[in-house]
Amino acid sequence: MTSLQDYSEEVRAEVKQVRETVATLHRQLIQWNLVVWTAGNVSQRLHSADLMVIKPSGVRYEYLTPQSMVVTDLDGNLVDGAEAPSSDTASHAYVYRHMPNVFGVVHTHSTYATAWAATGRNIPCALTMMGDEFGGPVPVGPFCLIGSEEIGKGVVETLKKYPFSPAVLMKNHGPFCIGKDAESAVKAAAMTEEVAHTVWAAEQVGTPIEIQQKDIERLNDRYQHVYGQN
Amino acid sequence: MTSLQDYSEEVRAEVKQVRETVATLHRQLIQWNLVVWTAGNVSQRLHSADLMVIKPSGVRYEYLTPQSMVVTDLDGNLVDGAEAPSSDTASHAYVYRHMPNVFGVVHTHSTYATAWAATGRNIPCALTMMGDEFGGPVPVGPFCLIGSEEIGKGVVETLKKYPFSPAVLMKNHGPFCIGKDAESAVKAAAMTEEVAHTVWAAEQVGTPIEIQQKDIERLNDRYQHVYGQN
Amino acid sequence: MTSLQDYSEEVRAEVKQVRETVATLHRQLIQWNLVVWTAGNVSQRLHSADLMVIKPSGVRYEYLTPQSMVVTDLDGNLVDGAEAPSSDTASHAYVYRHMPNVFGVVHTHSTYATAWAATGRNIPCALTMMGDEFGGPVPVGPFCLIGSEEIGKGVVETLKKYPFSPAVLMKNHGPFCIGKDAESAVKAAAMTEEVAHTVWAAEQVGTPIEIQQKDIERLNDRYQHVYGQN
Amino acid sequence: MTSLQDYSEEVRAEVKQVRETVATLHRQLIQWNLVVWTAGNVSQRLHSADLMVIKPSGVRYEYLTPQSMVVTDLDGNLVDGAEAPSSDTASHAYVYRHMPNVFGVVHTHSTYATAWAATGRNIPCALTMMGDEFGGPVPVGPFCLIGSEEIGKGVVETLKKYPFSPAVLMKNHGPFCIGKDAESAVKAAAMTEEVAHTVWAAEQVGTPIEIQQKDIERLNDRYQHVYGQN
C-alpha cells in the first residue's frame, strides 16, 4: 500500500487543504437539509496527484474533522486515514477516472430528489433555475447495488446523454452530483433538491409548464458564462 | 463611469446605511427559508439620489457584508462596489424607474411560490392573510429570460392589473416583491411563500374557499390603515 | 384611562412576571415554526386582576421584549404599554370574559392548520395524539373579519360544541388556541399544527382511519388525568 | 421499592453514564425534527443489571438533564428519579424483556411516519436506504391504547413477522424503534421518518418502484456487515 509519505510536499500540502475543504463542506449538507444521520458524502480530487479525499463511512456529521477525511487513489485504494472510506468510494473514483474535468463529487439522499428517483421519472425542466443549472431535465440513472463502482458507471453513462446536467438521480437511491470542485458539486446537490421539491410541488396544483428548448439553451448559456464573479 | 465620490456627503451617508440594511436583510431570506445557496437578491433605492444598493452576483449568503453590496444608478450602471451586481439589476432598476413609490425590491425562488409560478396559476385568495397583504390573489407574470430589464417590465405590467399586490410570480421563475423599503419587500417575500404554501396545502385536502370581494376589501383596508404601530 | 399605577403592588408584580412569560413564549412560536414575520400572538390573563398581557401589533419577533408587551383590561382597553396592542386583542378579551377557566390564548397562521381552515374541513381524529390532546376532531369555526371581538365570539361558540378541544380553526384564517395559561395554549398551538400536518399527509397516501369514540374517550381521560408530572 | 443504593457500584456507574447518553440523545430527536413539545421518548437498557433509563413524562426537551432521567426495572417499576417515568415505560420494558438483543428503544410521533401509521399502510420498500436499514417495508403494528404494555406487545409481535426492521409504525399512533443501544434506536427513528417522507413524496408524482427481494437481501447484507467502521 502506498502511503502519503511517498508523495511530494506539494501533494501533502494539497491533501491538507482539501481535507479542510471537504470536512467543511459536509456542514453545508446539514445546513441545506440534504442528509440525515450519516447518509451522504463529499469528495474532491486533487490537482497535484491522482488522489481524492472522501468522507469516512458511517460517521456522524458532528464528529467529522479534516483529519478524519480519508485519502485514496483513483482506484479507491486507501492511501491515508484512520477510518474506512465511504461505501461509495469506488463510484466516486470511477467518475474521476472517466470525467477528467470533474474534481468534486457529492452524493445525498435528499428527500424530494430521491422521491423522483424512486419513481424513475426525470424531473421535467419547468424552472428557469433548471435551465440555468441543469440545461434541461434532471435525469434518472439506472438501478445499481451499493459498494462497487457500478453506481459511478451509471452516473457517467447517464451524463453522456445529459451533458449539461451536474446531477443524476440514481434509481431507488438518490442524487449523485458533480462539479469542477467539491463546492460546485455541493451547490449542485442543493440545487437538485430545490428544483426536485419545487417541480414536485407544482405537480400537486397543476401541470408544470415545460420551458422551450431554445429558451433553456439561452438560460444555460448566460448562466454558465455571465452569472457570478469572474 | 460616475463614482460615489461624485455624490454629496448626504448621499454617501445614505449609501453606507442602506448597504448595512440590505446586507442584514439577506439574512432574513435565509431565516425564513426563502433562498438556497446564492439564489435571490434584495435591493433598496436611495431617497437622496437616483441610486440603488443590490446584492453582488453569485456570492454565498455567509460571505455577504455591507461593503460587498453593489451601488448602481437607476439604469443599472455600476457606481460603487468591488463585485459585479446581481443578474437581476436591470429589472430592479426598471421597477424603481416606473414605480416611484417603490424603494425596495426582493427576488427569491422560494419553493411553493415558485411551484405556482411553474404552473402559471395565480394563488387564489382563500386566506385572510392574503386579503390583508395582497388585497386578492397573488398574480402570475409573463415568462421572461434573465439578464435584461424584461423581468422588471413584466413585474410592472402585472402590478397594473393587481395594484394591491406587493408580489408577482414570474412564470417558471419565482416571486418578485416590492415595498416602501427593502424590509417591506422582504416581508412581502416571506408572506408570499407562506400563503403559497398554505393554499397549496389546502388544495390537497379540499377546495380552498375563496373570500368574497367585499370582505377582501375590508380586510385590506383595515390592514393597510390600522395594523401595526403608527 | 386606567393606569397600572391604579393597581396594587401584587397586581403590578404579576404583570411584570406575565410580561416575561408572554415575551418568552413568543420565541416558542418561532422554534416550532408556527409563525412568519409578525403574524401570531400570545396573551395571558392575570389571576390577581381582570387584566391581560398581549403582544404589540405588527412588531417583529426578534424585537419583542417583556417591556414591549401590552397590558389591557378584559374589554381590550389599554392599561399599560408604549405600543398598540395586537389586532386580535378584542377577541382574546372576549374569550377570557366568556371562558373563566381560560388564562392563555394563542393565535397563529401555522401552515397546515390554516390549510384545513381554508377548506372549511374539521381535522378528523385519526391519531392517538388527537385523542389525547383534542378529545376528537379539531373543529373549524366561522368566517369572521379581523379587528373586532367577532373572532372571539366564533371561538367561544365553536368550543361549546367541541368542549374537549383546545383549538378552533377559524375559517380562511388560522388556529386560535386556549389553555390554563399561555404555555398550555402555546402547546396546543404546536400540537394543532403537528396533527394538522400529519393527518394532511395521511390523506395523500390513503384514508386516515378514524379512532372509535370509546377509544378517544379513554385516551383523553388518561391524558388529562395521568400524563405528565403532578 | 428497590432503590439504586441496593445496586453495586458498577451498576450505579453505568446508570450515571446511561443517564447522560439518554439525555443527550433526546436532543437528536429535536435536531432531526422528530418530535414536538414533550412528545417522544428514548430509553436504554443497562448491561450490568435488569434496569433501564427513560425520559420523564411530559417534560419539555429544553429542561431535560441527565439527573431528570428516570431509572426503572424491566417491569417498569420506579428505582430512581424525582419525576414520573414516560407513559410508555411499560411498553419499553416489555420490549426489553422479550427481545434480549435490544438495548435501546425510541418512540416518536414524527410527521410522515405517523401519517403512514394513520392509514394502516406499510411503507413499501422503494429505496436502497430501506433495503439497507429495514431489509424490506416498514411495517404497521396494531392499534393499542397508551399507558399499559399493550404497545410493547404489539411491537414485539409485529417484529416477529419483519425480523430485519428496526421500526414498527403503531397504527394511528407513531413509530417505535429498536437498536443495540439508544443511539442505534434514535438512528432508526431518524431513518424511519426520512424513508416515510421520501416514499410519501414519491407517491405524489408517480408509482414508487419496489426493489426486488433478491436485491433487498444483498443491500441489507452488505449494510449490516460492511458499512461503517469496525
DSSP assignment of D17-49 equals: HHHHHHHHHHHHHHHTT---TT--EEEEE-SSS
The pLDDT, as a whole number, for residue A146 is 87
The pLDDT, as a whole number, for residue A217 is 94
* Residue of higher predicted confidence among A155 and A228: A155
Write down the mean pLDDT value for chain C. 96
Cα–Cα distance for residue pair A212/C119, rounded to 1 Å: 36
ipTM score = 0.96
Q: Assess whether pLDDT exceeds 90 at residue C42.
A: yes
DSSP state of C59: -
Of the listed ranges A111-115, C3-7, D146-150, the least confidently predicted one is: D146-150
The pLDDT, as a whole number, for residue B155 is 98
Q: What is the pLDDT of residues B202-216, one digit of tens each?
A: 999 999 999 999 999
> Band of the pLDDT at D194, cuts 50, 70, 90?
very high
- What share of chain B in percent tops pLDDT 70? 99
> Band of the pLDDT at D228, cuts 50, 70, 90?
confident
Residue-level length of chain D: 230
The pLDDT, as a whole number, for residue D146 is 86
For residue D100, the Cα-to-chain-centroid distance in whole angstroms is: 15
Q: What is the pLDDT of residues A54-103, one digit of tens each?
A: 999 999 999 999 999 999 999 999 999 999 999 999 999 999 999 999 99
The pLDDT, as a whole number, for residue D229 is 67
Q: Could you tell me which residues are beta bridge partners of residue D176? A: D107, D168
| E strand map for B126-173 | 140-141, 167-170
- What share of chain B in percent tops pLDDT 90? 93
Cα–Cα distance for residue pair D28/A63, rounded to 1 Å: 14
The pLDDT, as a whole number, for residue C77 is 96
Residue numbers in A near B118 (CB within 8 A): 126-127, 198-199, 202, 208-209
> Band of the pLDDT at A226, cuts 50, 70, 90?
confident
The pLDDT, as a whole number, for residue B146 is 86
Asked if C141 and C158 count as a contact pair (C-beta separation under 8 A), the reply is: yes
Cα–Cα distance for residue pair C167/C189, rounded to 1 Å: 7
Identify which of B127, B190, B191 has the shortest CB distance to residue C118.
Answer: B127
Cα–Cα distance for residue pair D51/D7, rounded to 1 Å: 10
Q: Given 3-state DSSP classes, what are the helix, strand and coil percentages for chain C, each rounded to the nearest 5? A: 45, 15, 40
Q: What is the pLDDT of residues C70-125, one digit of tens each?
A: 999 999 999 999 999 999 999 999 999 999 999 999 999 999 999 999 999 999 99
**Crossing angle, helix A182-205 and helix B111-119, to 10 degrees?**
60
Asked if B84 and A224 count as a contact pair (C-beta separation under 8 A), the reply is: no
Q: Residue range B134-139: average pLDDT?
A: 97
Q: Could you tell me which residues are beta bridge partners of residue B168? A: B176
Asked if B92 and B182 count as a contact pair (C-beta separation under 8 A), the reply is: no
Cα–Cα distance for residue pair A44/A61, rounded to 1 Å: 17
Laid out side by side, the sheet with D41-45 consists of: D78-80, D70-73, D51-54, D41-45, D104-107, D174-179, D167-170, D140-141
Asked if B57 and B76 count as a contact pair (C-beta separation under 8 A), the reply is: no
End-to-end CA distance of chain B: 41
Q: Assess whether pLDDT exceeds 70 at residue D230.
A: no
Which residue of chain D has the CA closest to A87?
Answer: D227
The alpha carbon torsion through C175, C181, C183, C186 (nearest 10 deg) reads 0
Which residue of chain D has the CA closest to C112?
Answer: D111
Of the listed ranges B119-123, C36-40, D189-193, the least confidently predicted one is: C36-40
Identify which of A58, A112, A121 has the shortest CB distance to residue D227.
Answer: A58
Q: What is the pLDDT of residues B104-129, one digit of tens each?
A: 999 999 999 999 999 999 999 999 99
From residue D140, alpha-carbon distances to A141, D102, D161, D169 in Å are 31, 19, 11, 4
From residue B3, alpha-carbon distances to B71, B73, B79, D67 in Å are 10, 10, 5, 64
Q: What is the pLDDT of residues A35-60, one digit of tens each?
A: 999 999 999 999 999 999 999 999 99
Beta-carbon separation of A111 and D211 below 8 A: no
Cα–Cα distance for residue pair C154/C150, rounded to 1 Å: 6
Asked if D139 and D168 count as a contact pair (C-beta separation under 8 A), the reply is: yes
Q: Assess whether pLDDT exceeds 90 at residue D226.
A: no
Asked if B131 and B219 count as a contact pair (C-beta separation under 8 A), the reply is: yes
Cα–Cα distance for residue pair B141/B154, rounded to 1 Å: 6
Residue numbers in A near B39 (CB within 8 A): 129, 194
Q: Assess whether pLDDT exceeds 70 at residue C212.
A: yes
Q: Assess whether pLDDT exceeds 70 at residue A230.
A: no
* Residue of higher predicted confidence among A141 and D224: A141
CB pairs < 8 Å spanning C and D: 98
Closest by CA position to C107, among listed C8, C188, C214: C188
**Crossing angle, helix B182-205 and helix C182-205, to 10 degrees?**
50
Identify which of B39, B119, B204 has the shortest CB distance to residue A202.
Answer: B119
Closest by CA position to A153, among listed A86, A100, A95: A95
**Cell (9 digits) for C126:** 385519526
Q: What is the pLDDT of residues D4-56, one digit of tens each?
A: 999 999 999 999 999 999 999 999 999 999 999 999 999 999 999 999 999 99
Q: Residue range B19-43: average pLDDT?
A: 96
The pLDDT, as a whole number, for residue A225 is 78
User: A35: distance to nearest CA of chain D, Å?
Assistant: 9
Q: Using the Cα atoms of residue A128, residue A132, residue A136 and residue A141 in order, give the sign of their dihedral.
A: negative
Cα–Cα distance for residue pair B34/B110, rounded to 1 Å: 5
Q: Residue range B61-69: average pLDDT?
A: 95
Cα–Cα distance for residue pair C115/B126, rounded to 1 Å: 9
**Cell (9 digits) for A148:** 462497487
> Band of the pLDDT at A229, cuts 50, 70, 90?
low
Interface chains of chain C (3 or more CB pairs under 8 Å): B, D
Beta-carbon separation of B37 and A198 below 8 A: no
At C52, is the secondary structure helix, strand, or coil?
Answer: strand
> What are phi and psi for residue D44, nearest 5 degrees?
-140, 135
Q: Assess whether pLDDT exceeds 70 at residue A200.
A: yes
User: C218: distance to nearest CA of chain D, Å?
Assistant: 8
DSSP B112-139: HHHHHHHHTPPBP--SHHHHHHHSSPBP
The pLDDT, as a whole number, for residue A130 is 97
Q: Are strands A41-45 and D41-45 parallel, antiparallel or unpaired?
A: unpaired
Beta-carbon separation of B229 and C87 below 8 A: no
Cα angle C185, C188, C192 (rounded to 5 degrees) comes to: 145
Burial environment of residue B54 by CB neighbours within 10 A (0 to 12, 13 to 18, 19 or more): buried
Closest by CA position to A71, among listed A118, A20, A120: A20
User: A148: distance to nearest CA of chain D, Å?
Assistant: 11
Beta-carbon separation of A187 and B114 below 8 A: no
Residue numbers in B near A128 (CB within 8 A): 145-146, 172-174
Q: Residue range A179-207: average pLDDT?
A: 98
Identify which of A36, A119, A173 has the shortest CB distance to residue D128.
Answer: A173
Closest by CA position to B117, among listed B154, B94, B142, B151: B142
Residue-level length of chain B: 230
Asked if D189 and D110 count as a contact pair (C-beta separation under 8 A), the reply is: yes
User: B196: distance to nearest CA of chain C, Å?
Assistant: 10
